[in-house]
Each structure stands twice: as structure tokens, then as C-alpha cells.
Amino acid sequence: MSMQIIGASWLWVCDPNFSILQNSGLLIQEGHIARVGDYAHLVDSHPKALSVFYPHCVLLPALINPHVHFEFSNQQDSFAYGSFEAWLTSVIQQRDRVLRHSHKSIQQAIAEQLKSGVASVGAISSYGLDRTLLANSPLRVVFFDELLGGSAPIEPALQTFQERHALSLQHKSPTFTPAIAIHAPYSVHKDLAKKVLSTIKSPVISAHFLESQAELEWLEQQKGWFARFYTDILGVPNPKPLYHSVAEFLDLFKNQRLLLVHGLFAKEEHLKYAKKTAQLTLISCPRSNRLLSGQVLDPTPLKKLGIPLSIATDGKSSNYNLDFLEELRTALFAYQAPLKELAIQLILSATWHAAQALGLNNGSLQAGKLADLAIFSFKGKGTPADALNWLLHAKKAKVVYVGGKLVIWQAKN
């Protein structure tokens, strides 16, 4: 790939200090950022490089959506909202119909990511329906084959999962990284989870975690709605929790890079234990949480404990679209924190922190990072308040680059 220089009126480096540069640019070689500096100086220093400058725009790392279920992109009104229990029951009853003929809706969901300025995703795949589409898409994908199976013997579920994951490994590339997701404490037998995690090396692991009060009650008190769910919906006689405690579930992930998704009903003791056990990032999906459990995450304990937070859309199984910018705005209005500071933290959660969570070498405009970039029309002032103003008004990306390659361009924005 030839050398190129990309510049804009404003650069948001998206380092921990949220550094802002004016009239600056990036020297890009072999899909990576080689230098960051004044745009005019970079052009003068490299006269043979292709160069482009975007006036009245902000250039920042392409956004990262670390938890999204593409397979359910057909869903509109098939699943019940208002309570997690009603929703999960409706998923069991209606999922086969929703999953049919999903090819077109998955393609539309991929396009929706790019339009939002997203170049990297953590894709949770229960059936492999989205594998080929994502592998051939412009997106940088961490593809989580999701493990499900709550009953013994574990061999049938193990074999099915191994076959699915083997297919994913065939697609492995610089932009497609196969990984493992453990669905949830209520749906994966501990012996099955241990077998998979001990025999398949995954660069990062994702797991749904304490998304509902019912899940917490089932794990800690061995009673409540899940007892009826297993008996009445799944036909399991005399059901027992698959783990003796929250800690036993978390012990599956010792020393692993771990994404715990939701954590809506996690107590401080659970979060402390998770942080001690694994390399932890908590992924919050505010619109999904509001639709299913009627509330959103309180990020205060995470800040207190020093646990990184990232935002994700989840899937259309529990959301009305996959617009990542709208998800960030929802978090802006839902989380109780000073607005200007929160806006910066949300942008960092979608860049710097999300990249670290997924183990990707992007998420920041620094030398050596992958040139995954998003450019938005924006007349900033070069102050921290710009983050809030951008987040309030950003509707779609003007340009997205993945590995220095232009993948989307809107002539009018």
C-alpha cells in the first residue's frame, strides 16, 4: 500500500488525556499510522505521498462496537419488551422464525455500523449465520462463537461448538479474529465451559453477566423465576443452578482478557472479584437494558473500582436499531455524571477502552496503531466541550478508513 497523508481541521487522538490537535494529519504506511503531526509539515516532508485534507471536520479513531448480535437483525416486533423474563421466553418461542432469511438484514446491519463511524465490532454469533458476511465485510471483526448448552451429557453441544469454531478459524485474517463467548451463567454447563476454555485458545472471551435480577436470585438463592423457566419452558425436571455462586462462574476466566456484558445487577463484591480474577472490561448496552430490565447501569462503582467501561448496541433482539452514535447519546442522557466529562469518557469508551477490551491495535491516533479512522463534519473550537457538542449532533460518518483503506464516503454530509 502506498504512503498517504490524511488530515483534518481537528484530530482527536483519543489517548487517556483526550488530546486535541488542530490542522494536523497522519502519515499512513502499510495500513498503520507512521507519524502524527502538523498536516502541512507532513506534506512538505513527504512530497510523493498521496494527501487529503478534510476542512471543517474532526478526524478520530474509527469507533468500536464491542458487543453486537448480527444474526437477530431481522427482529422488529417478535420479542417481548418490558421485562427480561418475558423477553427471554419470547426469544425461545420465536427465534427460529426471526433467524430465517436473515442475510439481507445482516448486510444492512453491517452498513449501519459503517454509517455510524464504526470500523470494529465484537460480533456474538450463536449459529454462524453471520460468519461469511462479516468475514467478507469491510469491518474489522472479533468473531465470538457463542457457547450454549446447559444439560449433560455435554458431548453433543461440545461437538457442535467445535465444528462451528473450526469453520470460523478457516476465515481467520488480519480483519477477522475468531474468539469464544460463554453465553451466560444460566445457559452453559460448567463442565462444557471448562472443556471448551481448556481446549480452545481464545484471545478474548465475552460473557453475558447478571443482566437480570432473576439471574442473580437463581445463582445466589437457587430459586425464583429461572426455576419455573427451566421446568415450564425448557422441560427440565428439578432444575438446579449450573454454578454454585457468581464467583464459581467468574473462576472460568482466570487471567483471561474478559468482556462482561451488562452487569446490571452485579454487586460491588462481584465486580471486585471479577477484576481480581480476569483482565476485565464491562460492556454496557443502555438501550437494551432499559427495554429488558427497565433500568440502566450505574457506572459509579466501576469508576470507584477502576474497571474500564465500554458501550455497545447489543443486537436488534433487544434494540430497535444498531445506530452506535444513538447508543452513545442514550448513555450520555442516562448516566449520572457531569456532561462534559461524561461525553469525553463515552468517546474514549468507544475507542481507547474498546480497543483494549477486544485486544485490537487501534482505537487511538498514535504511531504504530492501525489506521482505522472515522471523519465527521464538525466545526469545533479545540476545547474539551467539543466532545459534548459532537456527541449531541453527529449523525453519520463522512469517511471511514479500515487499515488505511477507504471503505465509506458520503459526498454530502
Query: Domain ends where: 336, 358, 380?
Result: 358
pLDDT reported for residue 233 = 87
186 shares a domain with 241: yes
Question: Which residue ranges in the chain fall short of pLDDT 70?
Answer: 1, 409-413
DSSP 3-state of 266: coil
By CB atoms closer than 10 A (0-12, 13-18, 19+), residue 17 is exposed
pLDDT reported for residue 305 = 98
Chain mean position to CA 243: 26
CATH of the domain at 165: 3.20.20.140
223 shares a domain with 76: yes
156 shares a domain with 34: no
281 shares a domain with 185: yes
Instruction: Quote the radius of gyration of the chain (alpha carbons, Å).
Output: 21
Query: Domain ends where: 317, 336, 358?
Result: 358
CATH of the domain at 21: 2.30.40.10
8 shares a domain with 140: no
Nearest to 26 by CA among 14, 15, 41: 41
- Provide the number of structural domains found in the chain: 2
Residue 146's beta-bridge partner residues?
Answer: 181
Nearest to 183 by CA among 317, 327, 293: 317
54 shares a domain with 109: no
Pairing of β 309-311 and β 279-284:
parallel
**Residue at 10: amino acid letter:** W
150 shares a domain with 13: no
Q: Do you find a cis peptide bond into 241, omega within 30 degrees of 0?
A: no
pLDDT reported for residue 413 = 43
143 shares a domain with 82: yes
233 shares a domain with 95: yes
Q: Which domain holds residue 247?
A: 65-358
Neighbouring C-alpha atoms within 13 Å toward the C-beta of 229 = 23
pLDDT reported for residue 409 = 64
80-100 pLDDT, tens digit each: 999 999 999 999 999 999 999
- Quickly count helices (H) and strands (E) in the chain: 16, 15
Residue 400's beta-bridge partner residues?
Answer: 374, 408
pLDDT reported for residue 150 = 86
H or E stretch covering 319: none
295 shares a domain with 211: yes
136 shares a domain with 24: no
Render 337-395 in DSSP notation, one character per residue.
S-HHHHHHHHHHHTTHHHHHHHT-S-SS--TTSB--EEEEE----SSTHHHHHHHHH--
Report CA-CA distances (Å) from 379 to 333, 334, 383: 23, 26, 11
280 shares a domain with 168: yes
